[in-house]
Amino acid sequence: MSTASLSEQDRSRRALCHPDGQKSCGACCGMYNHRQTAEPELMARLRHRTEAFRREASIDDAASLRAFRQKWEDPPEVKLLGELASCPFLGLLDGLDTRGRVGCLVHPLQNDGVDGRDCGVYDRHTCEDYLCAAHAVLKREEVNLVLAAVPDSYLYGLVITNPRLIRTFFELAATERGAYPQARELSDPAVVAAAAEFFSLVRSWPYRAADGIFGSVVPGEGLETHRRAHPAGEGLRQPVDTLLIGLGTRTLSQPELADARGLLLGAVSRFARALG
């Protein structure tokens, strides 16, 4: 283990991982890589593991950290992507509050500079350097709206790692109102509320497939993935269907398809109207 601290530049680069004091993202640590992805079960699992870490491990004892990893690391058969690492040191950072931040229990910022990440599934250099695609793809105004509209870590991690869903939501609203949303418009409380309504569908989408937690990406064997089949099958496509796929939608009957499209078009229209 080593002692380390992050520079201000490092912290700013990781703004999407820990953007504020209320929520954070644990997706690349394997937070959602489990066959039981419902929010209550997932957050209860993190709480249970955090409690166990406090009982069984010590940041100053590398042997205890290695033993904890061996005991608590998920086996391939319970993961959606069996060969994708899921770090057992991902836990709750705000006491045991499942509505608070998630993150690394052995990170130096959580342990007075002592770094235990070399005992995890990735070494500390990999953890330090990796940034997901959202950092490069999303525009600052898109990020700011997500931060304002999404209240908790479970939902935040699912939304911020789905840039195509966010961008398509913006684009459909722009088509409806005739102008792309501007940064100055996005801080309006009515706009934030309309966006929050849409993003909440990521949490509670009634037509999500059993393996739809990753949106358009379907997990296969090992590390294999493929693109989700269109929910309409061979039927006519509509622009809003990109949102359907991004929400991990299963194959739908015609009545279900009409209802699903209506739910999404309604959310887009309310966002566009709030923008003015």
Q: Is 135 exposed, middle or buried (0-12, 13-18, 19+ CB in 10 A)?
A: middle
Strands 90-92 and 102-104: antiparallel
Instruction: Output the CA torsion sign for 124, 125, 128, 132.
Output: negative
Does the pLDDT value for residue 228 go beyond 50?
Answer: yes
Beta strands in the chain (DSSP E): 2-3, 90-92, 102-104, 114-115, 217-219, 225-227
pLDDT in tens, 72-107: 999 999 988 888 889 999 999 999 999 999 999 999
Mean pLDDT on 68-72 = 96
Tokens standing for residue 47:
């709480």
Write out the DSSP string of 176-212: HHTSPPPGGGTTSHHHHHHHHHHHHHHHH-TTB-TTG
Beta bridge partners of 3: 114
In angstroms, the CA 46 to CA 33 distance is 13
Element (H, E) at 100: none
- Give residue-wise pLDDT tens across range 175-224: 999 999 999 999 999 999 999 999 999 999 999 998 888 888 877 776 77
d(CA 98, CA 40): 9
Average pLDDT, the chain: 91
Task: With CA atoms as reference, report the closest residue to 100 among 24, 39, 159, 204.
Answer: 24
pLDDT in tens, 15-51: 799 999 999 999 999 999 998 889 999 999 999 999 9
Which tokens go with 53?
């870490």
Distance in angstroms (rounded) separating the CA atoms of residues 197 and 108: 36
Task: State the Cα–Cα distance between residues 109 and 4, nearest whole angstrom.
Answer: 8
Answer whether residue 143 shows pLDDT above 50.
yes
